[in-house]
């Protein structure tokens, strides 16, 4: 068979693969994107939604670096809301219901029209390696594609198996074909392979749902978009609904636990702790009388509804009985049964923070194949893998985002430093600097990085610079004094604030507990001409000024630790004073900095002290 040459090859066209392929091709690499099925490109196999707690942050960061997920969501959303409103801006999380088919179709079109990018439907069965470097891939049809770098982003398709009660089938999500051969190639390369599990709820025909019995969940209009490039105001075109499980629902589940694959032993893979099946919820939280269920439309051109909160692998007959106990679903008709899916993935400790495999140069991994869950986590890894595969191709410095720079940095650092024994999910609590790493300032944190790499084009960069200028002008308005007259007194009284003895600046007003920049603008038109994003940023910076200053001080301290680099050639076993466990863990993970080494489970503060002394002696030539 003839060999076809590319600069880079991306295997898998899910959310990670799309971002990797676009990053590589936009940076000038002749790129081949191989997928089992072109109809599965950017497919929303589980939730028809993008964003959510901490995940919204990742989408905004992907966008700020020059990625596509945010734009694709803004163009195809049918409802959006800001979650965690009552918990402060550090954990505000944008979430959107996307039209499932339109999301896939638009992303496929973007890929098809992208210069330097070739799409092909084919199953990759082997990774080709020579002298410790990746050189290409082979397909099931015998094709050979040669490349400098390869990104593996196979999602949940490696030897995937669908489980519904006693019924099992070798299949990918939604009936798509699995990838049965590639796992062997990964094992042959010396990579540690694991078996994980996830699942999805049933899809129900909206014509059979009694919506009058359900609580309506409306979207929000005047909130930020996912993409900083989106010019139009995205519109809510649909609503979601809320209902609950009840005692009867729980009874049906408990009476059929012996038939549940999760408890009968049929399921072998490890499932996600933070997104458990309904049967797992009922068993683990027996004292809870009910659990929330959200009914979410799959799109504007279909009656299918996604039943969030009722993921299960129970037999089809039990599923039907269970759903019929739920208020509003008493006469519902299941269009697609819920199922669990098991799949192979690698141990992310096999990777450097660049997402390059430690054992094979030029081979990168991104997405659920690294043991993560979620579209957003996949997309975040995808753009970084693409950026670094490009750097590898061109012998440039690779990008490693720090924990104090981005949620993406937290995500990847957790994976390659701590590893994971279950599908990893991004959460705001994982980020030490979450007040600094907000959605609204993702472009301020990362656009310059994306520009330096070459992914941020002139349109995006000019818009970014324009925002910076507007922020400066808006900050000048904080000095304006509001005269202490009857209007101000009445404004303060309505907002339950004490009346001062003198006039107040806009800054001083925003500092008050019950007043914010939006209320001031409504009353005094101080920020007239500035959009929601600018006013929101100003409000947060003033309200949380003290906390932000503290986080900035903490970040400066962390940067000192990050500056002490650990060379690749260090023999940890030869360092006297390190405990055996620390030597083993350090040798396995091969941290790049003292800061990363300090986060490794099994490495104590005493070990870090020994390591710092050793590194300083080595620098001074006293090794």
Please say if the pLDDT value at position 563 is more than 80.
Answer: no
Q: Quick check: 234 pLDDT over 90? A: no
Given a cut of 60, whether residue 238 has pLDDT beyond it is: yes
DSSP conformation letters of 207-223: GG--GGGSEEE---SSS
User: Do 445 and 474 form a contact (C-beta atoms < 8 A)?
Assistant: no
Rounded CA Rg of the chain: 26
Q: Examine the pLDDT at 1 and tell me if it is beyond 70.
A: no
The answer to which of 174-183, 272-281, 341-350, 433-442 has the lowest mean pLDDT is 272-281
Determine the Cα angle at 224 with ends 88 and 298, to 5°. 100
Q: Which candidate, 542, 470, 535, 482, places its Cα nearest to that of 507?
A: 542
pLDDT at 499 over 60: yes
- In the predicted model, what is the mean pLDDT of residues 471-489? 95
Task: Give burial (CB, 10 Å; 0-12/13-18/19+) of 167.
Answer: middle
% pLDDT > 90, the chain: 80
- DSSP SS3 for 203: strand
Question: Which residues, including other chains, have CB under 8 Å from residue 292's CB and lie 6 or more apart?
Answer: 242, 244, 309
561: pLDDT confidence band, cut at 50, 70 and 90? Answer: low
Buried-state track 81-97, b at ≥16 Cβ within 10 A, e below 16? bbbbeeeebbbbbbbbb
For the cut 90, the answer to whether the pLDDT of residue 469 exceeds it is yes
The average confidence (pLDDT) of the chain is 94
Please check the confidence at residue 473 and state whether its pLDDT lies above 60. Answer: yes
Average pLDDT on 215-240 reads 91
Q: In this predicted model, what pLDDT tens digit does every residue of 251-288 receive, in sequence order?
A: 999 999 999 998 888 888 888 777 789 999 999 888 89
Q: Which two tokens stand for residue 575?
A: 């360092």
Report d(CA 18, CA 34) in Å as an integer: 10
559 neighbors 551 (Cβ within 8 angstroms):
no
- Give tens-digit pLDDT for 30-86: 999 999 999 999 999 999 999 999 999 999 999 999 999 999 999 999 999 999 887
CA 244, chain centre distance (Å): 27
Mapping DSSP onto H, E and C, the string for 322-357 reads HHCCCCCCCCCCEEECCEEEEEEEECHHHECCCCEE
Nearest alpha carbon to residue 149 among 131, 127, 123: 127
Position 622 scores a pLDDT of 60
Domains, in order of start, for the chain: 3-198+343-453 (3.50.50.60), 203-340 (2.40.30.260), 458-551 (1.10.10.1800), 563-619 (1.10.150.570)
Helix (H, G, I), strand (E, B) or coil at 82: strand
The confidence band for 316, taking pLDDT boundaries of 50, 70 and 90, is very high
Write down the pLDDT at residue 312: 95
């Amino acid at each position: 068979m003839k060999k076809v040459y590319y600069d880079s090859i991306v295997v898998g066209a899910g959310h990670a693969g799309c971002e990797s392929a676009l990053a590589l091709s936009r940076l000038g690499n002749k790129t081949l994107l191989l997928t089992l099925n072109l109809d599965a490109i950017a497919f929303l196999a589980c939730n028809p939604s993008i964003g959510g707690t901490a995940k919204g942050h990742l989408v905004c960061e992907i966008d700020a670096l020059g990625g596509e997920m945010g734009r694709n969501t803004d163009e195809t959303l049918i409802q959006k809301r800001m979650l965690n409103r009552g918990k402060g801006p550090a954990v505000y999380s944008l979430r959107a219901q996307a039209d499932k088919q339109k999301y896939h179709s638009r992303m496929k079109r973007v890929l098809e029209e992208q210069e330097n990018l070739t799409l092909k439907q084919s199953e990759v069965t082997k990774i080709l390696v020579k002298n410790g470097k990746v050189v290409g891939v082979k397909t099931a049809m015998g094709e050979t594609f040669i490349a400098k770098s390869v990104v593996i982003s196979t999602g949940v398709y490696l030897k995937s198996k669908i489980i519904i009660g006693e019924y099992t089938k070798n299949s990918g999500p939604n009936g798509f074909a699995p990838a049965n051969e590639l796992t062997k190639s990964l094992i042959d390369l010396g990579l540690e392979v694991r078996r994980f599990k996830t699942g999805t709820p049933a899809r129900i025909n909206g014509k059979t749902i009694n919506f009058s019995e359900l609580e309506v969940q409306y979207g929000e209009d005047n909130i930020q978009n996912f993409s900083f490039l989106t010019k139009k105001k995205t519109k809510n075109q649909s609503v979601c609904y809320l209902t609950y499980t009840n005692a009867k629902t729980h009874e049906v589940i408990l009476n059929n636990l012996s038939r549940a694959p999760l408890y009968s032993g049929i399921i072998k893979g490890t499932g996600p702790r933070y997104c458990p099946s309904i049967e797992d919820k009922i068993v683990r939280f027996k004292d809870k009388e009910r659990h929330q269920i959200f009914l979410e439309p799959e799109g504007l051109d279909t009656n299918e509804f996604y039943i969030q909160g009722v993921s299960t692998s129970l037999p089809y007959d039990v599923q039907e009985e269970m759903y019929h106990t739920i208020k509003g679903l008493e006469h519902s008709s299941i269009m697609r049964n819920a199922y669990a899916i098991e799949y192979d993935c690698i141990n992310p400790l096999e990777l450097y923070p660049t997402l390059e495999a430690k054992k094979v140069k030029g081979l990168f991994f991104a997405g659920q194949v690294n043991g993560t869950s979620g579209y957003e986590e996949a997309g975040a890894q995808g753009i970084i893998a693409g950026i670094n595969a490009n750097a590898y191709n061109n012998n440039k410095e690779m990008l490693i985002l720090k924990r104090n720079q981005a949620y993406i940095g937290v995500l990847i650092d957790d994976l390659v430093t701590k590893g994971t024994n279950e599908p990893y999910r991004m959460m705001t609590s994982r980020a030490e600097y979450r007040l600094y790493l907000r959605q609204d300032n993702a472009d301020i944190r990362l656009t310059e990085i994306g520009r330096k790499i070459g992914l941020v084009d002139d349109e995006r960069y000019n818009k970014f610079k324009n925002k910076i200028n507007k922020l400066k002008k808006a900050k000048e308005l904080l000095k304006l004094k509001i005269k202490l007259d009857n209007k101000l007194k009445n404004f303060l009284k309505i907002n339950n604030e004490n009346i001062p003895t003198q006039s107040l600046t806009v800054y001083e007003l925003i500092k008050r507990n019950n007043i914010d920049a939006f209320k001031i603008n409504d009353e005094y038109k101080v920020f007239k001409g500035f959009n929601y994003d600018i006013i929101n940023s100003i409000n947060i910076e003033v309200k949380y000024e003290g906390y932000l200053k503290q986080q900035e001080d903490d970040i400066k301290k962390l940067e000192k630790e990050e500056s002490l680099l650990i060379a690749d050639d260090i023999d940890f076993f030869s360092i006297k004073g390190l405990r055996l466990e620390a030597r083993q863990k350090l040798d396995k993970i091969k941290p790049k900095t003292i800061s990363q080494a300090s986060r490794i489970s099994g490495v104590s503060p005493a070990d870090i002290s020994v390591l710092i002394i050793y590194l300083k002696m080595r620098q001074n030539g006293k090794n």
